[in-house]
Amino acid sequence: MKQRDAIKMTEQEAIAFLHEGMREMWPMFLATNGPGGYPHIVSMGWIYRNGRILFQTYGKSQKIVNLRRDPKAAVILEASPYGETGGFEHRRLRGLMIRGVCELDDNPQRVVEVLTAMWENGAARSLRLGARPERQLLDFVKQRAHKRIAISFIPQKWASWDHGKLAPDTY
């Protein structure tokens, strides 16, 4: 078996990895096709719902300009390869790269739905860690919903890696 095939996640493992990343609030990188032919890559807060990855951002941002021109995009999510001692551990490398298309929705009600779901996800993590979620942050952002856009990323092609699947003596 090729090493590439050995580290590939199953569909169920990839979905579980997305849920783990969402629960722990790992940043996801969104790559759009920027002006001049170069990728435009940004770190985004996100949630995964109903088979889609949801983001929200300002309507005049460069990523929105890019997506209006070309809805194709890619995302990458990677778990930290650093162990408890802070040292790099190759076997901990896990990640997803997903290609897809984005749908944009500037309806303020939809933006508030996405913002609220993102806040609830963050609040749940804060509570697990013993912190108190700050409701005023959600209220502050909701007031600006009319300036924001919800992005719904529809996955089309997945690539994954989990180096922990390799035999212990591989590295």
34-69 burial, b at 16+ Cβ within 10 Å, e below that, comes to: beeeeebeeebbbbbeeeebbbbbeeeeebbebbee
**Other beta carbons within 10 Å of 27:** 14
What's the pLDDT tens digit per position in 78-96? 998 777 777 777 778 899 9
pTM of the model: 0.90
The residue type at 75: V
What's the pLDDT tens digit per position in 104-129? 999 999 999 999 999 899 888 888 88
What's the pLDDT tens digit per position in 54-83? 999 999 999 999 999 999 999 999 998 777
Domains of the chain with CATH codes: 3-164 (2.30.110.10)
To the nearest whole percent, how much of the chain has pLDDT over 70?
A: 98
Using alpha carbons, select from 17, 15, 45 the residue that is nearest to residue 30. Answer: 45
